[in-house]
Structure formats: structure tokens, C-alpha cells
Amino acid sequence: MAYGAQADGGSLADHDSVTAFRSKRVVTLDKVRPASVLVRDGVIVELADWDSIPANSRVHDFGELVLLPGLVDTHVHINDPGRASWEGFATATRAAAAGGMTAVVDMPLNCSPETTTVEALETKRAAARGQCFVDWATWGGVVGHEGSIGNEADISGLIAAGVPGFKCFLIDSGIDSFAWSDEAQLRRALAVLQGSGLPLLAHAEVAGPVAEATVRLNAGLADWRRYATYLASRPDEAELEAIGLLIRLAEKFDAHIHIVHLATARALPMLKSAREAGLKITVETCPQYLWFAAEEIPDGATEFKCAPPIRSATNRKALWWGLLDGVIDFIATDHSPCPPEMKDRRLDSNDAESGRFDRAWGGVASLGLALPVVWTGLQDFGGDLSSITKWLSGGPARLAGLDRSSGASRKGRIAPGFDADFAVFDPDERWSVGEADLHFRHKLSPYVGANLRGKVLETWLRGERIFQQSNGTALFASVSTGQELRRNDP
């Protein structure tokens, strides 16, 4: 829709109902420009020139601050219901709001029951009711059962119930009741998904290379407090074999396959070739793979543990180029928190066995930090604010089917017909992450102490402010107004 067009073909004569969000730097899909974003009833109705504000409109003038579309994170482990002591809807969505996010999509494992049936989905919806500061959706799960039939019979029901897609593992998920899927089970699931337009999200590691590497390490009496040991136990080959399998499946089925949290840059050439061949494959990576490097991780620092693992500085640089070249589509956090004791960090003891990577839960806590982390790292690669919009808003919204200009799911861009979701961002503020800046439940995160550039100052959801930084204090809306986004809503 062109600039200046109306979302509904109507007029703006009813000035009193219009609110203008004005900035010298409004970030759209293809440019940064001075503009006034005109909003009625929580929806953008016009993207006008900076000085084109109807008389009697309410005006929020952000000056030189950047107005970004609300961020969308399609890889969040909220863990509710059942494991709200790890994280819950209230704390996760507050953290998301503080980071400029206005929509998150929850992963179907770590909660209990796992979201693999319609009944479990309804349990999750009940847990979320009245708790969410941002809008949310949840993936369904595809699980296997020891080489036999998995939950393929539940996929159609979950589609009808409104999930935007499905998540599976090709290796042990860490949750016994969310079993990994073998090739036969993946084929059966893809046969159901074929033609639906819904993606199958895959944790792309296979077990063989991991098991072989672990046996070798244990035979050599490896020190599991060293990050180098953990890295060696999850070799690149585990990802490469899994991605090779997924590419072969994409050649056989008319279905969208999405690779979550790509960690190895060695997969980029095969992924580029698959895309050039027209296969329906998309890819995400995560802030931790773009910010940290294996050589810099201290022994015993299990807050850095995730799977696939954080790899070398050379690999990190190659992932950045994969993003800039368009082989990697976007960035999602894979926020996967847990209670500190599950990280095997007994900080008040003298136990030399504390901090073992083989015993620690795998997952990086990061929700709310993606924008400044990515923006800071991007400074070394000459990227711009339009790239940020593509990677942290438009791309993830498209994966989850939230990027439509009509219906209930209108996320990921500043354009007529889309929700008035905004992140007000100061791209120049420099700050250091402290525990007070973390709004998720447990404050153990590898980002504590990181020196960042750029800070979210306000977040708006459907034209209402839900977060504000005021004199160093984080202020949140007194009422949680987040809504569930269902793929099949009219």
C-alpha cells in the first residue's frame, strides 16, 4: 500500500479519533524517513509526511528518536503452564515489552503439558489469560515415540485450533515427553502439513555425531567445566547432517521447513543452494551466536550453554555475512531460562565440580536484549536500521503468519492496516547491562556486564504505551492487554 493510502479507503475527517506518532526517523520496510504515523483505534490508517497532521489530533512527537515497528520474537520458551517457576507469561511478556517487542511466539516444550494436542493448547490458553503484556501465539509440537507413530493424528486439530506452525527436534530435546522425531516420523508430519502453508520448525542437530564425540571425550577423561569440552561434544557435523536431511525432505514435500537457531556457518553454502533451487526453507539465527565467541567463554560459565553451541569468532563473523547476504532470514532469541540451580552453578560453595557443562540445563536467558545486542554488533558490518526491521520484525512476523494487513494478525511493519505497535529507540545511548535491566524471572544471563549501544525507551501496543524508561526506571502498564494471535482468525 503506497504512502498516504488509507487502510480502509475512508477519510480522516474525524480528527478527534486520530493520534499521530511523529519522528524524524520512522523505519519502514525499505527506508528511514521523517513521517507522521496516523493511528485510529489501535491501527495505522496513514503514513503521512512529517508535518501532515490533522487538526485536533493527539500528537506524540519523538523528535530524532527512532520509531521502529514493534519487534516480533518467534522463538521464546515461556514454560507456562507447569513450569512457571522457570518463567511465566507475566514475567516473559514484561521482559519482551522492555525490549521493544509487541508479539512473541511460545515454543511447545518446557511447559507441562507440552503443546502437542488441542487439549494441551487450551490449558496453555487458560494459563496465559490476563497475564500478557504483549500479544502472543504458540507453536504446536511434532513429537516422535521411539521410531513408532508420533502425534501426527493431532496435527490437523491443532491447525484448526489456530497454531501458526509446528516445532520438532531431530535430537533429544531435554524434555522426556517431547521426544525427537526420526525421518519416518518427519515424513508423516510433512505429509499432513503439505499444502497448509504452515511451517515445520526444526531443531537441526542429529544425535550420531554428538554421541560419538561425547564417547571420545569421556574416554579421554575430559574436563566438563571447560567450555571447549562442551563445544567439542556438539560438533558442526551434527547440524550439517540434520540440515542435509531437511533439505532432502524439502525436495520431496510441498511444505515450508524452517531451521531454528542456526549456529554453524558451515551450513550457509548448502542453504544458499537450496534456496536458489526454490526450496521452501527459511533460517533464523540468534543474538548469542552473533555476540559471543567460544574462545571468550570462561570455564564453568554455564549461563552460556545452549544447543547448538556458541562457536568460534570466525564462525560468528560468517553468520553476520549470512544475514547481510540474505541466506539467514531473521533473528530470534531462543530465550530459554531456568532456575539458577539447573545451571549447576553453586556459587556459594567450594565444590570444584560446580559449573559442569554436561550437567547444566542448556539455554540462554536474553529476552528484552535482542535489539541493542544486534544493533551494537551490526556497527562492525555497515548495516542500517532497515536491516534491523527486517531481521527483528518483518521476518519473524512472516514466519508466524502475523504480517497481514487485515484480520487479527497485523504485525511486523509500520504501514497502513497494521497494528500501531512501535518501539521508540535511541540508537546512540551507550549502557552496560545490569541485573536491574533484566525483567525475566531469573537474572542469570551471559549478557550481564555487556556494553551495548542503543536502548529501547518506550514500547506501544496497538496505540497504547505498555513500557517506558523514565529516569533510569522501567515503568510498565498497570493492566496487561496482550492478546492471543491465532493463525486462522478472520
Q: How far apart are CA 379 and CA 375, in angstroms?
A: 7
pLDDT in the model for residue 147: 60
Whether 476 maps to a domain, the answer reads: no
pLDDT tens, residue by residue, 231-265? 999 999 999 999 999 999 999 999 999 999 999 99
- Assess if residue 441 is contained within a domain: no
Reply yes or no on whether the pLDDT at 28 is more than 70: yes
Domain contains 166: yes
The DSSP secondary structure of 446-469, one letter per residue, reads TTTT-EEEEEEEEEEETTEEEEEE
Q: Residue 409 has what pLDDT?
A: 67
| 145: in domain | yes
Q: Is residue 52 part of a domain?
A: no
Asked if residue 487 is part of any domain, the answer here is no
Q: What is the mean pLDDT of residues 440-468?
A: 97
Comparison of pLDDT for 145 and 375, the residue scoring more = 375
Q: Give CA–CA dist 459/441, Å, rounded.
A: 20
Tally of domains within the chain? 1
Please report whether residue 469 resides in a domain.
no
Q: How confident is the model at residue 351 (pLDDT cuts 50, 70, 90)?
A: low
Average pLDDT over residues 9-19: 58
Mean residue pLDDT of the chain comes to 93
CB 373 within 8 A of CB 321: no
What residue type is 314 in one-letter code? T
pLDDT (average), residues 461-475: 95
- Residue 145: its pLDDT value, please? 75
Assign residue 164 the CATH number of its domain.
3.20.20.140
If 0-12 CB within 10 Å is exposed, 13-18 middle and 19+ buried, where does residue 431 land?
middle
Residue 179 has pLDDT above 80, yes or no: yes
DSSP reduced 3-state for 437: helix
Could you tell me whether strands 71-76 and 422-432 are parallel, antiparallel, or unpaired per DSSP bridges? Answer: unpaired
Per-residue pLDDT, 362: 96
Task: Evaluate whether residue 481 is within a structural domain.
Answer: no
Structural domain boundaries enclosing 340 = 70-399
Per-residue pLDDT for 32 more than 90? Answer: yes
| For residues 59-71, average pLDDT | 98
Model pTM?
A: 0.94
